Structure formats: structure tokens, C-alpha cells
């Protein structure tokens, strides 16, 4: 009986963790979509008021989501998120002032690192030659 209760408790804990990971992933997607919507609204309504903060936030969200996808070995989605992050980073660099420089440099470095991780995961594993 104790074993059955322990198994059920473990199942509930695992289900809770799975739900939490799904919720986090959905929240990241919401953040990316909200940032995209803000950027698009700013572009269509008042191009002069596009702030680098919106683009930086969108780039950070896309980078976080790409990192999660890389960890889950969902390489196609990770590539899409890295492309989205690069686009938002370009937008932020276009409108950013000097005060945003360190944040942009950090995001560029993180984008480069994640692209490197993606490239290393995309490389086919070469079988070792046995002599």
C-alpha cells in the first residue's frame, strides 16, 4: 500500500513539473508575441517612437525560448527563435542610444553562443573508426 501511495505521489509531482514547464514555455511565447505586437503597432502608428526597450525585451524573450528549445532538442523551433531574436536585436540597434550599448552587446554575445550551440547540435555525429 505504501508503495502504491509513493508511486501516485511521484506521478503527481512529475505531472506538476511537466505542467510548469508547459506554462513557462507558453508564457515565453506570450512575451514574444506581445513584444512583436508592440513593435508592429509602433511601426504602423508612430515609427519615430519605436523604443529599443521593446525590441530588447522581444530579443531576450526569443533568446530564452531558443535556449529552452535547444535544451529540449527542438532544433527547428530553436532556429526560428534565434532568427526572431536577431531581427529584434537589429531593430533595437537601429533605435538604441549609447545607454543601451552594454545590453545590446550582451544580447549579441548570447545570440552568438546560442547559434554556436545550434550549429554544434546540427553537425552530424561522425562514427568512430574501429581498427
What's the CA gap between 92 and 106, in Å, rounded? 13
Query: In the prediction, which pLDDT does 131 show?
Result: 45
Give the three cell numbers for residue 43.
511601426
Query: In the prediction, which pLDDT does 127 show?
Result: 52
Query: In the prediction, which pLDDT does 49 show?
Result: 52
Task: Please list the ranges in the chain whose pLDDT falls under 70.
Answer: 42, 45-52, 95-100, 124-131
Residue 107: count of CB within 10 angstroms of its CB: 23
Predicted confidence (pLDDT) per residue in 81-114, tens digit:
888 888 878 877 776 666 667 777 888 888 888 8
Q: Using alpha carbons, select from 81, 94, 100 the residue that is nearest to residue 35.
A: 81
Query: In the prediction, which pLDDT does 12 show?
Result: 95
- Domain map of the chain by residue range? 24-121
Amino acid at each position: 500500500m505504501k508503495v502504491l501511495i509513493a508511486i501516485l505521489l511521484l506521478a503527481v509531482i512529475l505531472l506538476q513539473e511537466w505542467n510548469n514547464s508547459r506554462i513557462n514555455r507558453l508564457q515565453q511565447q506570450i512575451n514574444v508575441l506581445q513584444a512583436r505586437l508592440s513593435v508592429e503597432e509602433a511601426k504602423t502608428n508612430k515609427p519615430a517612437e519605436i523604443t529599443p526597450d521593446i525590441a530588447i525585451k522581444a530579443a531576450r524573450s526569443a533568446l530564452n525560448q531558443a535556449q529552452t528549445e535547444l535544451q529540449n532538442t527542438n532544433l527547428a523551433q530553436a532556429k526560428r527563435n534565434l532568427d526572431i531574436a536577431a531581427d529584434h536585436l537589429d531593430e533595437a540597434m537601429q533605435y538604441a542610444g549609447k545607454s543601451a550599448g552594454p545590453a545590446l552587446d550582451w544580447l549579441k554575445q548570447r545570440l552568438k553562443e546560442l547559434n554556436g550551440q545550434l550549429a554544434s547540435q546540427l553537425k552530424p555525429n561522425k562514427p568512430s573508426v574501429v581498427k
